[in-house]
Amino acid sequence: MNRKKLNVKLVKMSYEYKDKLIEMLDEWKTDIEVNNTNPSPWAIFKNDHHDFDKYLEELEVKEEKDGLVPDSTFFCLDLDRDRLVGAVNIRHYLNGNNCLTGGHIGDGIRPSERRKGYATAMIGLALEECKKLGLNKVLMVCDADNYGSEKSIINNGGVFESEVASETGAKEKRYWITLNEETVETERLILRRLMPNDYKAMAAWDMDERVYKYLMGSACKNPEETLSWLPKKDPNSRVNILMLVTAKNDGHAVGIYALNHDKLRDVWTLSYVNRYEDWGKGYTTEGIKALMDHAVRTYGAHSFEGECAKANAGSAAVMKKLGMKYDHDSFYSKSDGSETFESEVYILEK
């Protein structure tokens, strides 16, 4: 039998809902104390709800500080019953502290209303709020043994990525929900945001010493090495645009093209890496040009900068084909300090 569609909406906390909030949290906190259940979302439990003015004032994080990012907290109201049934907290973006195990959305349903479909409905409404924030990819994380939470995520389109250990050592599952796929297309290429599950495709260049001759890093010994940093990258970032590049003709992964915004100088720095077999095919010029145009339209970019080793004639040729002009000499070193390169810096104004 199909379950009746729930008539719910998300509301911001106010004095209108004060009594309902107190009643819900009194029930919820008792369950936490008696049954040692998980207090999620933490935002609604971090302050004493009986001191309502302070509770309202400190419910949401207004600006980034102490590792926390701005967030929004909503409460789920059953309109037919005029009853608060749960709450959801949405982080506006991810940083190093929450990109691995925190996720964008923290949610919870009060004990007496669980297993009724409220979590699935509430997450669906939360995803609409995520769209308003401009999020294309939403990360949700749940305890590995929390099958109810896992089901509500999957019901909203969650795709399993990996299982990780939290700060306490507990196992957690990471799921991604795609609201919109940010892509850039050219005649021969498709660029899309780089995701953690792309680590195996990246091995085509990440494990090739030839590719890393002039790069700052070093070639990987195995594909899994990439997972030390890749899951910590936010695929919604508006300042660090990492794109996986694939060939239209057969779908193979060509490389990674990237733009990083230096806010202080208001300059976008370009970088790129291709698998060795795709060198000399003009992919970099084609793809980076399209990515730069995309950044102008989407992110308001206007100043671009690129740097390459003087000995790297191929990379210098790419920048010239992009219309970039030589600006000055510089130098850079490999991350392990094993080698230093004299370099040239190129710039372009759009």
- Token pair, residue 313, equals 């004639």
Percent of all residues in the chain with a pLDDT value above 90, rounded to a whole number:
90
Report the pLDDT averaged over residues 84-93.
Answer: 97
Residue 36 has pLDDT above 90, yes or no: no
CA atoms within 13 A on the CB side of 333: 6
Residue 189 has pLDDT above 80, yes or no: yes
Q: Is residue 291 a contact partner of residue 301, using CB atoms and an 8 Å limit?
A: no
What CA dihedral angle connects 180, 181, 187 and 188, to 10 degrees?
A: -160
Other CB atoms within a 10 A radius of the CB of residue 56 amount to 17
Q: What is the pLDDT of residues 140-158, one digit of tens each?
A: 999 999 999 999 999 999 9
Percent of all residues in the chain with a pLDDT value above 70, rounded to a whole number:
99
Domains 8-178 and 183-349 share a fold: yes
Residue 328 has pLDDT above 80, yes or no: yes
What CA dihedral angle connects 237, 238, 239 and 241, to 10 degrees?
A: 70
Which range has the worst mean pLDDT, 7-16, 135-144, 160-169, 201-210? Answer: 160-169
Using pLDDT thresholds of 50, 70 and 90, give the confidence band for residue 3.
Answer: low
Residue 170 has pLDDT above 50, yes or no: yes
Homologous superfamily of 183-349 in CATH?
Gcn5-related N-acetyltransferase (GNAT) (3.40.630.30)
- Residue 96, pLDDT score: 74
- How far apart CA 151 and CA 114 sit, in angstroms, is 13
Boundaries of every domain in the chain: 8-178, 183-349
Q: What is the pLDDT of residues 49-87, one digit of tens each?
A: 999 999 999 999 999 988 889 999 999 999 999 999 999
CATH 3.40.630.30 holds for 8-178: yes
Report residue 180: phi and psi, to 5°. Answer: -160, 135
Q: Is 282 helix (H, G, I), strand (E, B) or coil?
A: coil
- pTM, two decimals, is 0.90
Return the closest-CA partner of residue 12 out of 74, 72, 103.
Answer: 74
- How far apart CA 330 and CA 332 sit, in angstroms, is 7
- Residue 2, pLDDT score: 56
What CA dihedral angle connects 62, 64, 65 and 71, to 10 degrees?
A: 50
Using pLDDT thresholds of 50, 70 and 90, give the confidence band for residue 1.
Answer: very low
